[in-house]
Structure 1
Amino acid sequence: MNRRYGLRDDQWERIKELLPGRIVVLADTLFLKSPQRIAALMMVMILCLMVYNLTQFQIRAKLGDCADTLPNQLGKPTSTPTLRWIFQLMEGIALVRIFNHQHALIHEAVSNLNDIRIKIIRLFGHTACKPGAFHQLEYPAQGSFAKVANHQTRMI
């Protein structure tokens, strides 16, 4: 029994195809045994890529129209951010809801918002900023949490 990187042979056989530099199709893992199911999965993947690229295009177009920028990974302004980077900038936002003992909602707030995150949300258009969903919520300071005595806080 040979050991590669501290793994047994059976463990190595399971992961060696997943190492970087290899193209792997995991269709068998997803139980896509028929050509129709594989074709359906490919259509879903293509649809996802189209939505991803359309979203990235629209954000870049709005930044260009406004002559505005977002910080890139190095902190320098860019008007052509990738959607992946925008998702990373948006990490950490949470909706904080405070309930009383009868599980009635007392207060609702968005936590961890900063100027960049608010700008990104506004770039998504009026639907993302519609009244009642974005404008009426309070924005606590970044990293702060509401503290209310005898109340429960749940993050969703």
Structure 2
Amino acid sequence: MKIADLPDDTRLELHNHMKRIIRKYYKGLKNGSLKYESFIDKMFSIKTQPQWLKNYPNLEKDLDFRDSLIQYIKNITNGYIQMEQQNKLNVNHKHKVLSERPSEKAAQKDMLTLQDRQELKKILHDNGYTLSIPSKFLTASEASYLKEYIQEGISVPLGWEKILNYIKKST
């Protein structure tokens, strides 16, 4: 079984758990002193197992899952490395009036229009969900993934599990 085959709530638990552990061992993963296989072995040998591992105990021995987990860890680590390099670039050019980063961010994040925000809020309200962050911080791609997830039941793409933290069931 691969990570993409897991249910959305389990993938969200896995995503949050992995980010927490990767932050702890990031330096070793980055410089190569900690191999991905031994990192996964350490993660599985922790006495208090996370809920997602308790629900799927066979994943510990599944080789396909291990391979997809290694790829997932590499993606998260590469994301951290890119953020680190961007921050170094900004620190080095802090006196520059127009840096390259804001224009890149503006190009990457196509913000929602007011009409799109209202439409998303209506869809969320009609289906019993509420946003846990202000809608002005959502990008168009995040909003479209949320709409697909809520309206059509399509699971979010691998790597976008964080958007499931943005919504919660209203009571």
With the length of structure 1 as denominator, give the TM-score of the two structures: 0.29
Question: Relative contact order (C-alpha < 8 Å, sep 6+): which is higher?
Answer: 2
Larger strand percent: 1
With the length of structure 2 as denominator, give the TM-score of the two structures: 0.27
